[in-house]
Amino acid sequence: MFMWIIKRDLLLAVRRQADVLTTLFFFIIVVSLFPLSVGPEMNMLRTMAPGVVWVAALLASMLSLGRMFSNDYLDGTLEQMLLSPQSLSLLVLGKAAAHWLVTGVPLVLMAPVLGIQYDLPGEALLVLTAALLLGTPVLSLIGAIGAALTLGLRGGGVLVSLLVLPLYIPVLIFGAGAVEANMSGMEFDAHLSLIGAFLLVSVVFAPWAAASALRVSLE
Amino acid sequence: MIPIFVFAAVALLGAGLYVGFFVAPTDFQQGEAYRIIFIHVPAAWMSMFLYVVMAFWAGIGLAFNTRLSSMFATAIAPTGAMFTFIALWTGALWGKPMWGTWWVWDARLTSELILFFLYIGFMSLQAAIDDPRRADKAGAIIALVGVVNVPIIYFSVQWWNTLHQGASVSVNQAPAMASTMLTGMLIMVFASWMYSIAVILKRTRVIILERESHTAWVAELHKNGAI
Amino acid sequence: MRYNQQSIPSIDKIMLQGINLACVRGDRELFRDVNFSLEAGGLMQVRGPNGSGKTSLLRMLCGLSNPAAGEIRWSGTSIRALDGEYYGAMTYIGHLSGTKDDLTVIENLRISSALAGFDIGVDQAKDALGHIGLRGREALPVKVLSQGQRRRVALARLLVCKTPLWILDEPLVALDVAAVKLIQELLEQHLREGGMVVMTTHQEIDITATSTTQLHLA
């Protein structure tokens, strides 16, 4: 069932590739704006890089949250999911996984290229990619709660940022922290383990919270 | 019952401010400026405490479908946000003479700022939903998610702060407090309690009347000039 | 024209029951003290003018929303307590077709059936679509279909999801005469086999059933 939902959402994403690409290009543009605003001084850019890439990833992932449930809500397929004998939490987990595959994975793949723009050393690029790989699923999972709560509301897009961004802060801190630690020659394993722990916690709790939010929103 | 709390709040506020500003001795390190803690510390305590209370009542409302507790949670949010704002504002006022800057990215200040965002998120979500029942439940979910996250956020910020040593100044260096200072502070804490209870009860009352405005008993009250 | 539907097991005892249901929308009470019960093979038609709460009642029966007062029972147990088990026994087709514009007709049917717990193969899906009058259109994306054809895609679920209880909100809207007749036969066969149907419709339609209840919402 879980696989059915992922397959379905991926199929939809393939039929609507423009949506995937806009998120990716948003990410690239935001990251590219920073050197233009603070100057091309390489040392400064290098120290800024992890933070900039992570903030851009947060924003890109958040912007695409609107699509996670709202299309299904408008055409009635979300109603059918709520009436499915399958566990709704599992369906939500499937949708979050699909969201991550469609928006998170392209960001992870693009991040090393953007890191090179900021002159990050090779190992730091690897750590950045690893941190994003672990952290972006958390963004999709927490985002699912926000997306479910703001379903069908006026100004839902802006509202979701108010709800979700404060909750993203721990991932941001440790995600960017891992890369900074690596660049200053410190251990970064602890950071990655913590993001991994966030991921486990959100896999367990976020689908459940988002499922209750969906039931509330569709009532 | 509300007038009692209002009276208590005003009386304690007067007493607390008097003790704080006239009785308590001047701090030899920080001078007169430290007196702002008589407002800052109670506000910061209340802001955190009220968030937990709010999430608790909202959770009760969600789990047992009791409308009164949800309304209570809704009534708490603005007061909590106000205390958070006061704590941030007075923190900045305090920081200027102490650290020479309005804002430092101290762990506590940063956490307080994030707490403020959480309050704002809760209130704007409820404001965006027309149906009060849905607003109650949606608010409860975000409040509970928030309350689970607050320790994680606090821990992360604490950790982040220690990594970025440098400009940060520890707020923890307050030495043993003079007993009059402590008295003044405690009186102010009780004053904030009384104020919160009074305002929250009043606001709950208004919310109940507003939501039940179509029912007969509210119309009755209205006719008798009770409201 | 009969569609081969397997008989539904142990349906005799199951019964849908509504007790003192009330519905409030905003400040307005739409209905109160609505009582009904439905036995195997029973049809209930919900009638009433626009805004009388027909759709609200059906959404309550699905468990999508909670009644302001009262309780809905499925074979004696509150549907709140049953949750997944009840959803496995019920098919709901609402105002929204529940189809994705970007997916093809057959993809839509297979996915929505899988969601409802009926994993069907391509052949079975094609069969059902042929029966409902969409032969040759299986591979078209739903967005190019007409309103009536979309409705048929949604209704095709009834052919593959063999649940005892069907809850249908205006199933005949946008359908042509032939399709209305098809649906009528489908409903009659379902009722004959011991299934139950709760539906709203503004069109006059004669459905033979062992017991027919008319529920009027003022």
- In this prediction, residues C10-21 reach a mean pLDDT of 72
Q: What percent of chain C has pLDDT over 90?
A: 11
The answer to whether A86 and C115 are in contact (CB under 8 A) is yes
DSSP secondary structure letter of residue C104: B
Residue C65 identity (one-letter amino acid): S
Q: Which pLDDT score is estimated for C1? A: 36
d(CA C37, CA B101): 72
Instruction: Give the minimum alpha-carbon distance from C164 to chain B in angstroms, rounded to a whole number.
Output: 31
The answer to whether B150 and B110 are in contact (CB under 8 A) is no
**pLDDT band per the 50, 70, 90 thresholds, residue B170:** very low
Q: Which residue of C64, C96, C114 is in closest CB contact with A75?
A: C96
- The per-residue pLDDT for range B19-42, each reduced to its tens digit, is 766 666 666 566 666 777 788 888
CB contact under 8 A, A84 and C116: yes
A107 or C133, which is more confident: A107
Q: Is the pLDDT of residue C4 over 60?
A: no
- Residues near C130 by Cβ (< 8 Å), separated by ≥ 6? none
- The per-residue pLDDT for range A129-167, each reduced to its tens digit, is 999 999 999 999 999 999 999 998 887 788 999 999 999
Q: Angle, nearest 10°, between helix axes B107-128 and B67-99?
A: 150
Q: Which pLDDT score is estimated for A207? A: 95
Q: Which pLDDT score is estimated for A19? A: 83
Q: Is residue C39 part of a domain?
A: yes
Q: ipTM value, please give it.
A: 0.85
Strand partners, C21: C34
Show the domain range for C210. 14-83+192-218
With an 8 Å Cβ cutoff, is B213 touching chain C? yes
- How many structural domains are present in chain C? 1
Check which CATH number belongs to the domain holding C216 and give it.
3.40.50.300
Q: Is residue C186 part of a domain?
A: no
Buried b (16+ CB within 10 A) or exposed e, A46-55: bebbbbbbbb
C-alpha closest to that of C149 among C169, C132, C161: C132
- The per-residue pLDDT for range C81-130, each reduced to its tens digit, is 887 788 888 999 988 888 888 899 999 999 888 888 888 888 888 888 98
d(CA A93, CA B214): 41
The answer to whether C149 and C5 are in contact (CB under 8 A) is no
- The per-residue pLDDT for range C183-192, each reduced to its tens digit, is 899 999 999 8
* Contacts with C63 from chain A: Cβ below 8 Å: 83
Q: Which pLDDT score is estimated for C137? A: 86
Strand partners, C91: C166
Q: Is the pLDDT of residue A196 over 90?
A: yes
Q: How do C196-200 and C28-38 pair as beta strands?
A: unpaired
Q: Which residue of C90, C96, C107 is in closest CB contact with A76?
A: C96
- In this prediction, residues A91-110 reach a mean pLDDT of 94
B69 or B218, which is more confident: B69
Q: Is residue C89 part of a domain?
A: no
Q: Which residue of B128, B138, B159 is in closest CB contact with A154?
A: B128
Q: What percent of chain A has pLDDT over 70?
A: 100
d(CA B142, CA A210): 10
CB contact under 8 A, B160 and A163: no
> In this complex, how many residue pairs, one in chain A and one in chain B, have their CB atoms less than 8 Å apart?
70
Cα dihedral A77, A80, A82, A87 sign: negative
Cα dihedral A41, A46, A48, A49 sign: positive
* Contacts with B157 from chain A: Cβ below 8 Å: 169, 173
C-alpha closest to that of A122 among A183, A170, A62: A183
**pLDDT band per the 50, 70, 90 thresholds, residue B177:** low
Q: Which of C23, C25, C27, C78 to mutate to test the interface with B (most CBs of B within 10 A)?
A: C27
Q: Which pLDDT score is estimated for C3? A: 43
Q: Is A187 helix (H, G, I), strand (E, B) or coil?
A: coil
Q: Which pLDDT score is estimated for B178? A: 63
Q: Is the pLDDT of residue C14 over 60?
A: no
Q: Which residue of C62, C94, C141 is in closest CB contact with A76?
A: C94
Residue A32 identity (one-letter amino acid): S
Q: Which pLDDT score is estimated for A201? A: 93
The torsion angles phi and psi of A20, rounded to 5 degrees, stand at -65, -45
Q: How do C16-25 and C69-74 pair as beta strands?
A: antiparallel
- Residues near A100 by Cβ (< 8 Å), separated by ≥ 6? A136, A137, A139, A140
Q: Give B40's Cβ-side CA count (13 Å radius).
A: 17
Q: Give C190's Cβ-side CA count (13 Å radius).
A: 25
Q: Is residue C60 part of a domain?
A: yes
Q: Which pLDDT score is estimated for B225? A: 64
pTM of the predicted structure, to 2 decimals = 0.86
Chains that touch A (3 or more CB pairs under 8 A): B, C
d(CA A91, CA A84): 9
Q: Which pLDDT score is estimated for B163? A: 63
Per-residue CA distances from B161 to A56, A200, B106, C164 (Å): 22, 25, 7, 61
C-alpha closest to that of B28 among B172, B187, B181: B181
d(CA C154, CA A86): 20
